[in-house]
Amino acid sequence: MKFGILINEGPYTHQATDSAYQFTKAALEKGHEIFRVFFYHDGVNNATKLTEPPQDDRNIVNLWSALAKEHNLDLVVCVAAALRRGIQEENLAEGFRISGLGQLIESGIQADRMITFGD
């Protein structure tokens, strides 16, 4: 099955990001395809390399980057939501790219299922 993933919540304020990461990782391990992971609203905060969690906490931004590198995932950050939050190309973490809502629409068309994490 081919999944599109939509993440609407930030990395350390809501369980949605961790749930999305675990779902994506498990789906890939089971042989499913992830068409795209789209970060929208506060979810764009998952893409900034300026995140510096405490040493004893997970670094969800790095986890997404590593998963993208390992599985050639398309991690797309909504341009409008990113700019509102001060996120630009130069402070994106490895593996993320900025694009528009057309990428989200394409995910909904191309994927068999679109899974949304967060409000």
Identify the active-site residue in 6, 78, 82, 98. 78
Annotated catalytic residue 78: yes
In angstroms, rounded to a whole number, what is the distance separating the alpha carbons of residues 17 and 59? 11
Q: Could you list the active site residues? A: 78
